[in-house]
Structure 1
Amino acid sequence: MKSLRIDVSDCKYVDDVYGRLLAILDAPEWHGHNLDALWDSITSDINGLLPPYCIEVVGYKDVPEPVSALLSRIKAVFEEAQKDENIRVQLRFG
């Protein structure tokens, strides 16, 4: 399983998180900044990064509440993809 790390310590807005995450996923430029688009991309083959992989999120402890809430929802999307679609993707907080 490929391991990657994303640092969100200076993310002030949810779009900052999407920008970092989509870059690490090597998502296409037209990828939307929402959870439905994220689901579609991690359960298909549109990203340059293909499963299996694990993304470790660091620097999350002092981010604004909207960013923290989004990170929790993104983690849930990854967990759902792993459980429901049997796709080997993980997002964890380190």
Structure 2
Amino acid sequence: MIQHIVDGSAVRSRSDFYEAVAAALEFPEWFGHNLDALYDCLTDLSWLPPGEHVLVWARPDVLAQIDPAGSRAINAVLSDAVEDFTDPERAFKVVLVEP
């Protein structure tokens, strides 16, 4: 299992989350920094090695307090991406770590 950590203590906007998740999961340069592009990248991950990949978002509460609508939208995309992930060589999970 490979963990990809997003430190949510510094995530104060959707843009901050896009930057953090792109770095954590080594998104390709074509990542569009929006919800649709986030979903597209999360359901692909073909640039990562085969195996189980776990996105660990520590402190998602920070964004939820500052931008509740943005947090809900990102969480919906994360949930949809996990549900729709079909790569036979990779697995994808998301773990939210609250304080």
TM-score range, shorter chain: 0.7 to 0.9
TM-score by length of 1: 0.73
Task: Quote the residue 1:14 is aligned against.
Answer: 14
TM-score by length of 2: 0.70
Deviation digits for residues 40-73 of structure 1, max 9, x if unmatched? 112224544666211111123233432x543443
Distance in 2 between residues matched to 1:42 and 1:50, nearest whole Å: 14
Find the partner of 2:94 among 87, 91, 94. 91
Task: Quote the residue 2:44 is aligned against.
Answer: 44
Unpaired stretches in structure 1, ≥5 consecutive residues = none
Q: Percent identity?
A: 27
Pick closer, same or farther for the CA change 1:61–1:80 going to 2, 3 Å.
closer
Q: Give the secondary-structure state (helix, strand or coil) at the position aligned to 1:18.
A: helix
Distance in 2 between residues matched to 1:35 and 1:2, nearest whole Å: 24
Deviation digits for residues 1-54 of structure 1, max 9, x if unmatched? 322221111222221111010011101223111111111112224544666211
For the aligned residues, what is the CA RMSD? Answer: 2.5
Show the 5 A alignment for 1:54-73: 54-63=54-63, 64-66=65-67, 68-73=68-73
Give structure 1 regions of 4+ aligned residues with deviation exceeding 6 angstroms: none
Q: How many residues align?
A: 93
My pick for the range that moved more, 43-52 or 69-78, is: 43-52
